[in-house]
Amino acid sequence: MVGRVETLQNTLQQARKARRLSQLELSLRMGVSQRHVSFVESGRAKPSRALLMAWLHELDAPLALQNAAMLQAGYAPAYSAASLDDPALAQAKSALVQLVAAHDPMPAMILDAEWNVLHLNRGAQWLATTLVPWLAEAVAGSASSGEAAKPLNMLDLMLHPDGICKRIVNLHEVAPTLLAHVRRDAATNPALAPKADALAAIMKTRLGTNAITNAWTPPAAPVLTNRFATEHGELAFFSLFTTFGTPQDITLASLRVEHLFAADEGTRRAVQSLATTASAQVAA
């Protein structure tokens, strides 16, 4: 079956509906008539490049979607999409690496839009091999530079039968929020949709459909904590994400740094002791 070819009209309509704006509300924000908004969305009028850029900014569309809309309208893309190793992004990459390294020995990693791990600190290397021991060889190969030749993918590690999900003690608490996060990313990155569906299927198999769709309960703490069963006992972490505030490149806009913090004193002591010992062994 041939998939639907996306047009500028489809893109603008979907982006507006995602923001829950009516044509009238959007027209008032942009200072144009509702009639003109209707004509553009129906294909009866073509926006100028300047108006289309203002339109997309008003909808807070992701940079990749903005580029797609510009191409659909017959204009050149507005934003670059350089590799993180591109010299043009050297300053930004250096800042990200420093941010990750400064969080040691607590785990921290850089993730891209596909949930690939582009860089991880020593604490994250230790935690990864603690939760998924069969990763030891792959992680060890990147220990000197912090970068794997073939990036690990967090969603793949969750989907693996002997992966991260198997270690999560409080999966019933984590699953709904995790699925919502992945599905939200898939809404703007369709390539993630199959993995989002696969993750939902795994969660439903392990927890039951009701646990995923109807089991919301008031949170017991201000932040969601992931609790993992390990050979060192139960380890508990909560996450904080850092992103660029004003990215002008699609790659930078898609990157996020995940910082893991100990949710209890036992975890903090374990990480301080075990991660430091593990990094010393690698250095030797």
- How much is the pLDDT for 109? 96
Cα–Cα dist 103/100, whole Å: 6
Q: Residue type at 194?
A: P
Q: pTM of this prediction?
A: 0.79
Positions of the chain with pLDDT under 50: 1-4, 143-145, 148, 284
Peptide bond into 247 cis (omega under 30): no
Q: Are 110 and 119 in contact (CB under 8 A)?
A: yes
State the DSSP code for 163.
S
**What is the structure's pLDDT at 84?**
86
DSSP assignments along 11-73, one per residue? HHHHHHHHTT--HHHHHHHHTS-HHHHHHHHHTSS---HHHHHHHHHHTT--HHHHHHHHHHT
Which of 245, 273, 242 is CA-nearest to residue 105? 273
Which pLDDT belongs to residue 1?
35
Contacts 24+ apart (CB under 8 A), 82-89: 82/249, 82/251, 83/251, 84/118, 84/251, 84/255, 88/249, 89/249, 89/251, 89/252
Domains and CATH numbers, the chain: 8-72 (1.10.260.40), 87-170+225-283 (3.30.450)
Whether residue 236 contacts residue 226, with contact meaning beta carbons closer than 8 Å, is answered with: yes
Coil/strand/helix, residue 92: helix
Strand positions, DSSP E, the chain: 108-111, 116-120, 152-153, 226-230, 233-242, 256-262
Task: Name every residue whose Cβ is closer than 8 Å to that of residue 238 and which is 6 or more positions away in sequence.
Answer: 223, 224, 225, 226, 260, 261, 263
* Residues listed for the chain: 284
Q: Which residues, at least 6 apart from 273, have a Cβ–Cβ distance to it below 8 Å? A: none
| Encoded tokens for 12 | 């603008």
Find out whether 55 and 39 touch, Cβ atoms under 8 Å.
no
Return the bridge partners of 238, or none: 261
The whole-number pLDDT of residue 94 equals 94
Residue-wise over 110-121: b if at least 16 C-beta within 10 A, else e?
bbebbbbbbbbb
